[in-house]
Chain A
Amino acid sequence: MDFDLTEEQRLLKDSIDGLLADAYDFDKRKLYMKEKGGWSQGIWSKLAEQGLLGLPFSEEDGGFGAGGVETMIVMEAMGRALVLEPYLATVVLSGGFLRHGGSAAQKTAHLPGIIDGSKTFAFAQLEKQSRYDLFDVATSAKKKGDGWVIDGEKFVVLNGENADTLIVTARTAGGQRDRSGIGVFIVPADAKGVTRKGYPTQDGLHAADITFTGVEVGSDAAIGDPANALPLIERVVDEARIALCAEAVGLMDESLKTTVEYIKTRKQFGVAIGSFQSLQHRASDMFVALEQARSMSMFATMAADFDDAKERATSIAAAKVQIGKSAKFVGQQAIQLHGGIGMTMEAKIGHYFKRLTMIESTFGDTDYHMRRVSEAGGLI
C-alpha cells in the first residue's frame, strides 16, 4: 500500500505544473478563450511537445505507456489551472476508445495525429432522452454494403465544434434501451451529412449539438464489436469519470487556496475576515471535503485496475458521488466566502465554481451514481 508518486511521476507532475504555471494564469486564459474554437493551439502544441498528449498510449503506438496515475496527475494540474484545451475529449475519451478497442489500422490512422497535437477528437454520446444511461441509444447505424449509415442526433458533445474526428455511439440492433446492439464508430467531422451547431458551455469550454443524416462510413469505421460495444463504452467512460474526479480535485484545491488567500487579505471591521471563526470553520470544512475527494480520486484511479468488474464500476461510481458532493460544497462556499466579488465574471473563483458544477453533471451526477452504488449492494 503506497500513495506516493514514483520518481518519474514526480517529474511528470513538475513538468506539467511548470508548464501551466508559466503559460496559464487567469489573464492568459481569457486570451486563449478568444482564440479560434475557444482554446489555444499554442498550448496544445506545447502539451504535445512535452509528450503529454501521448502519455497513455503504448510505446509501439508512439506513446509513453503511462497509466492511470499519470492521467490523474495531468488532469489534476489541468483542473488547478482551469485549462480549456480538449484533453478529456481527445486523449482520455477518444484516445481511450482507440487504445482499448481500436484495430491496428485504426490506431495507425488516428493516434499519430492525437499524439503530435495536429488533430483533436470528440466523443458524441449524449442524446436528448439518454441522460446518463450509456446504453440508451436511439441514433442508428444501419448496414449498407460493407459499411454503415448513421442517423441521429447527439447533444453537448465536448469539443464537438472543433474536433477533426468524432467517435459516435450508434445502435446497430435492438431497442433504444437494450444493452446489446450498440456500436462505436469513427466519423470524420466533415463527412457528408454531419451538421454541427457549436456553442460555448457555462464553464467556458465549447461543445456542439450534432446531427447525423445518412452519414456513410466504411466497414473500418467501427471500433470493436459493432454489435456489442457497451462494455467498451463503459470502460472508456469510467476512465473519463476518473479523469474528471482528478480534474475536480485540482479545481477544489485551487478554489480553497484562492479563498483562503482572499479571506486573509480582505478586511472588514478593521480586521482580516479570515480571523472570524465562522469563516475559519467553513474553510476547514472545505478542506475536509477536499481531502475526502482527493482520497476518492486516488481510490478511483487505482480501482480502474481491479479485476472484479462489478467492484471496479461500483468503486468509480462511489468516487463520482464523493467528488460531486465535495465539489458542490467547496464551489458554493468558495463563492460565499468571497462575498460580492465572487459573483463577478472578473474574479477567477466563479469560473472554478462553474467548471466544478458542470463536472458534477458530466457522465452521471451524484444521484445517478449513488443509485448505482446502492443497486450494487453498497461498498461494505
Chain B
Amino acid sequence: MLTDLLGFPPQVLFGQLLLGLINGAFYAVLSLGLAVIFGLLNIVNFAHGALYMLGAFATLGLTQYLGIGYWGALILAPVIVGAIGILAERVLLRRLAGIDHLYGLLLTFGMALVIEGVFVKIFGASGIPYAAPSQLQGGVNLGFMFLPWYRGWVVVASLAVCLATWYLFERTKIGAYLRAGTENPRLLQAFGVNVPLLTTLAYGYGVGLAAFAGVLAAPITQVNPMMGSNLIIVVFAVVVIGGMGSIMGAIITGMSMGVIEGLTKVFWPEASSTVIFLVMAIVLVLRPAGLFGKTA
C-alpha cells in the first residue's frame, strides 16, 4: 500500500486524518461564526473562544444539574449562550457602532478575559471530563482504521450545521437581508428592514455556532475554562487565510487547515502546532487578501 511505502502504518495516518477533520470542523464552525458576526457588526469577536467554552460548560451544567442529557444540550446550550451573546450585543457592543473597528476587538478581548477569569476562579484550570452519549460510545473497525462513533458524529454534525448556515445565507429571504446588511446597512434600513434587530440576531447566531462547537467538543477535549483561548488564535489565522468574505470559503478553509494540521502531525510532528501560522504567512506573501477574500 502507498501508506506503507511512506513508512507509516495506515492506522496512524488515517487516525490523524480523522483528528484533523475534527479540528477542521471546529475551525470551520468557529470561523463561520466569526465571519457572520464580522459581516454585520464589523467586529472581530475575540470573545468567540470564551463563548465556545461557555457552550461546553453549559452542556456540563445542563447534564449535571438539570438532568438534560447531551442531546438536549446540543439544542439548548447554543440557545442559552446565544441569548447571553444577544444580551452582550445589546448592552455592550451596540455602543461601539460608528467608531473604529479596533475597539470592538478590544472590547470583546476584555469580555473574554472576564468570562475566562471567572470560570478559572470557580472551576480551576484543569479539565472536567464529560462522557459521550451512550448511543455514540464505541466505534467501528473500517479495516484500515478504527472509527469511534462520536468522532464521526462530530464531523458530520459540524458539516451539517455549516451547510445549513450556507443555505440560510445564500438561499433564503433572511439570508438575502443579512447579505444586504453586510453590503450596505443604511440602504437596507431605508427599505424598511429592521437592521439593528438583524445585527443582534446575527451576533446571537454567530455566538450560537461557537457554543454548538463547544457542545461537540465537550466529550473530546474535556471541559476546561481555557479550552477556547488558544483555539481562537488558530481560528484567527484560519480567518486570515480564508478571508471573511464568503461562507463557503470559511468552511473549506477551516476543514482543509484541520486536515493539513493532522497530516503535519504524521509527517513532521514538531511543526504541527505552528503549521497553520506558516500557511498564513505563505498566503500573506502570495495572496494578501486571503484565498477567498475580496481585496480590502
- Do they bind each other? no
Residue ranges of B at the interface with A (Cβ–Cβ < 8 Å): none
